[in-house]
Structure 1
Amino acid sequence: MRFSGLTNRDKSRGAALQRRPGQLVIGGFLAAVAVGTGLLLLPVSASGESATLMEAVFTATSAVCVTGLIVTDTPVFWSGFGEAVILVLIQIGGLGVMTVASLLGVLVSRRLDLRSRLVAAASTRTVGLGDVRRILVRVVVIALVVEAVVAAVLTVRFAVAYDQPLGRAVWQGLFHAVSAYNNAGFALFSGSLMDFVSDPWICIPTSVAMIVGGLGLPVVLEVLREGWRLPCWSLHTKITLLMTALLLGGGTGFFLVAEADATMARLGVADRLLASFTQAANARTAGFNSVNTGEMHTETWLGTVILMFIGAGSGGTGGGIKVTTFAVLAVVIWSELRGEPDANLFDRRISPSTQRHALTVALLAVAIVVLPTLWMTALSPFTVDQILFEVTSAFTTTGLSTGITAQLAWYHQVVLCVLMFIGRLGPVTLGTALALRARRRLYRLPESAPIIG
């Protein structure tokens, strides 16, 4: 039988296929959470009494969504097998379930069909379908290289400075390297990194891994390809690197001042700088903490919420509304205040569709954070600032906590699971995937201008 052209049925199937990758990504993440829950429910996963269903579901969701919020003490409650399950879930969640599945398809069959390419493009946030195969390989290579380097540094440090047996040092180094690069925030120490607040050989490598993972693959690839030739960078890379530098610098200064008389009062000047930098890096969706978050000032919590909400780079392992979204909105506001007809940045005009996209993401994120905060505050004994912190941390897949996560009612923990899931996939991605079909108008209505303000 010879193919002579596309029939209407073929066209409709092709259109339907282009709408399904987002749904397949959601299905992949749900499957990973389900499998992880089943494994964590096994008696061998716990060091003592087996986990309850809520404990297993919450931990699996937090790991797959690379969040780091916990309802059990990870090094105490989970056995070595349970820790290994969490580590694998973090890696799968960080790389993307569909990225891993598509890469395995490449390795086995040496080819990707249209369906697999669309799924991989949705998972890695790439545009050109022809580049997906090469990009998938680079996703894994970059992740493994960064994780291996950081794991080696941490292993040596744990073994030499803290007299850990070599096997234990290797495991701790590997676990924290994977957790850091994927911005997960799971730690094998009950106090996260608080025991190492003054140790730059622990805090700096993990922070660097978080930053690299949070930049996003497009930025990392472009920097590797173009080097530090700024004129050759795309607008996206320029925005991401500039905002990352500003947030790290501003966040470090903020924590240095805000916590000088609180959690950092007993630290020397150098240690305060290190702790402030570590907190600034972690607050942008990583989740480790080198000082006690629960003992911070209320105003520090609010500043942390802002950093968590902005988040990391697009296409990275972090969450939040993304630094590019924040930057676009800031430029749009500044241009409007100055009465300029266009929003320009780095000698480029930002398209109206990009502006609408940024506004949609930001407003959806505000609604997703505010509504659960109001509901949970009304039905729990905790204050609104504590609830706001936990909700924002869950939605932005950060994992920082004021210490109340395990004390919340089970239905509040379910809400946090949903927020982590939505935050990992992105409000717009989730909404698009759940939409039955895209609507296209063949006409435009007459223009009008209601009074604003």
Structure 2
Amino acid sequence: MAILAAGPRRRRRTHPAQVVVLGFAGAILVGTALLMLPIARADGVATDFFDALFTATSAVCVTGLTVVDTATHWSGFGLAVILVLIQLGGLGIMIFASMIGLLVARKFSVRARLTAVAESGALSQQDVKGLVRGIVGLSLLIEAVVMVFLLARFLLGYGYAPGEALWHALFHAVSAFNNAGFALYTDNLIPFAADPFICLPIAAAVILGGLGFPVLMQLRKEFRRPLHWSMNTRIMLWGTVVLLTAGTAYITVLEWNNDDTFGSYPPAARVLMGFFQSVQTRTAGFNSVDVGQMHDETWLGMDVLMFIGGGPAGTAGGIKVTTFAVLFFILWTEMRGEAAVNVFGKRLSRAVHRQAITVVLIALAAVMLGTITLMIMTGRGLDETLFETISAFATVGLSTGITADLPPGGDVVLVLLMFLGRLGPLTLGSALALRERRILYELPKERPAIG
């Protein structure tokens, strides 16, 4: 009776970040179990646990790093499992990121909610089902359009049988839009390096997936009214153009005379290859050249592009273009001696300053710790190890060729980096936004010496 009098126990509230982490972990474990089945392997032999775990993590986190040859190791069943994991991983990130926008908006007053909804672009507080349908529908539409282009090229340009052409077109369209980088060829997309009818549709899908769902929805509704675009949309569009242009010029110039990469191709093909690799370095992971043969200087520039990544609420990884832009505008404001950070005619919230700095510092710590650990385990140099670590954390999937040769401990490090890189910035950002609390007192100010 005393127990009854105490009343019902309170249910412990689950933070949204915990839900998404558990969801992705569950998907990885299920995917690992399926890929370990003998039917998932081409030769009918069960795949090793670490290889299956690595592949499932890479697929769910839409990274693209591999420890086995995707084209020859997996059977049709295994490839189908990978494709489903890629689709679930990509859509799951977009849906969760958009739902976080709803949760954040509900914390404020009615006026603040309306402002937050308008600023986020297409995040409705009422029609949640419509929101999810919009994400799924838009994703499938883009994938279908890209698939049609690839299907026509495989049929007419390479003489594939209809069934084979359809499968290759579907797999690469889904892999591209979700920024996964998995390909059905042993040497990835190197056979199509100079083919714009393959490279450009895939690049377009990667760019659209990397922009983020809120940007795509706002462009669909208000494409002809740029004055109505939110700060997020403007930052993403300008940032994408600047990074793609700079990346294309940087990679093309440095690799122009490298006979192991661009040097043996005609000039027009070299420009196409430079653009394609610039796009893929922004977290997609397809490669049309042997990345391991690139110059060290090219790797360093690609490290920066991979670390920045794509847009929030999309399929790309990295710290996100918006985070990088916020830091840039803070730096620009400090250099000009101004008090407030103004971006495209609006003032940036000081809370965003702190969140951006927090995300970047934690990301840098993860990359440095992972790099040092891999260097100790493998005895390899800094350049290739740093490249591999950033590629895993930013869920890019590009590799200098050392991933398949790593010891099991190294595989575990990359698995953790992929998982942290895919969920870390997103869940950390949401946690910071959702746990703001008021402090009813202020301490006296004091300034330490800087610089």
**Identity rate, percent:** 50
**Cα offset, 1:206, TM superposition:** 0.3
Partner of 1:107: none
Contact preservation (8 Å) 1:65, 1:420:
yes
What is the CA–CA distance in structure 2 between the aligned matches of 1:200 and 1:272, rounded to whole Å? 11
Partner of 1:282: 280
Partner of 1:121: none
* 2:205 counterpart of 1:209: yes
What is the CA–CA distance in structure 1 between the aligned matches of 2:61 and 2:332, rounded to whole Å? 34
Residue 226 and residue 404 in structure 1: after superposition, are their counterparts in 2 closer, same or farther (change >3 A)?
A: same
What is the CA–CA distance in structure 2 between the aligned matches of 1:47 and 1:125, rounded to whole Å? 45
Instruction: After TM superposition, list the pairs within 5 Å mapping 1:221-232 onto structure 2.
Output: 221-232=217-228
Which of these residues, 406, 410, 420, is aligned with residue 418 of structure 2? 420
What is the CA–CA distance in structure 2 between the aligned matches of 1:431 and 1:245, rounded to whole Å? 24
What is the CA–CA distance in structure 1 between the aligned matches of 2:228 and 2:278, rounded to whole Å? 29
Contact preservation (8 Å) 1:29, 1:97:
no
Partner of 1:47: 42
**Cα offset, 1:226, TM superposition:** 0.5
What is the CA–CA distance in structure 1 between the aligned matches of 2:337 and 2:93, rounded to whole Å? 45
Partner of 2:372: 374
Partner of 1:82: 78
Partner of 1:182: 178
Partner of 2:112: none
Name whichever of 289-298 and 19-28 sits farther off. 19-28
What is the CA–CA distance in structure 2 between the aligned matches of 1:277 and 1:213, rounded to whole Å? 17
Unaligned 5+ segments in structure 2 are 1-6, 108-119
What is the CA–CA distance in structure 2 between the aligned matches of 1:228 and 1:372, rounded to whole Å? 45
Q: Match for 2:126: what amino acid? A: G
**Cα offset, 1:129, TM superposition:** 3.7
What is the CA–CA distance in structure 2 between the aligned matches of 1:445 and 1:157, rounded to whole Å? 66
* 2:230 counterpart of 1:243: no
Q: TM-score, normalised by structure 2?
A: 0.89
Partner of 1:94: 90
Which of these residues, 342, 353, 356, is aligned with residue 354 of structure 2? 356
**Cα offset, 1:228, TM superposition:** 3.4
* 2:308 counterpart of 1:313: no
What is the CA–CA distance in structure 1 between the aligned matches of 2:293 and 2:121, rounded to whole Å? 38
What is the CA–CA distance in structure 2 between the aligned matches of 1:201 and 1:23, rounded to whole Å? 42
What is the CA–CA distance in structure 2 between the aligned matches of 1:298 and 1:132, rounded to whole Å? 47
Residue 125 and residue 372 in structure 1: after superposition, are their counterparts in 2 closer, same or farther (change >3 A)?
A: farther
**Cα offset, 1:229, TM superposition:** 2.3
Partner of 2:266: 268
What is the CA–CA distance in structure 1 between the aligned matches of 2:160 and 2:253, rounded to whole Å? 35
- Structure 1 runs, 4 residues or longer, greater than 6 Å off: 124-127, 431-434
What is the CA–CA distance in structure 2 between the aligned matches of 1:45 and 1:310, rounded to whole Å? 35
What is the CA–CA distance in structure 2 between the aligned matches of 1:433 and 1:95, rounded to whole Å? 20
Query: Cα deviation per residue 1:325-383 (whole Å; 9 max; x = unaligned)?
Result: 11110110011011111111111111111111111111111111011111211221321
Number of corresponding residues: 425
Instruction: After TM superposition, list the pairs within 5 Å mapping 1:122-137 onto structure 2.
Output: 129-137=125-133
Residue 84 and residue 90 in structure 1: after superposition, are their counterparts in 2 closer, same or farther (change >3 A)?
A: same
Partner of 2:19: 24
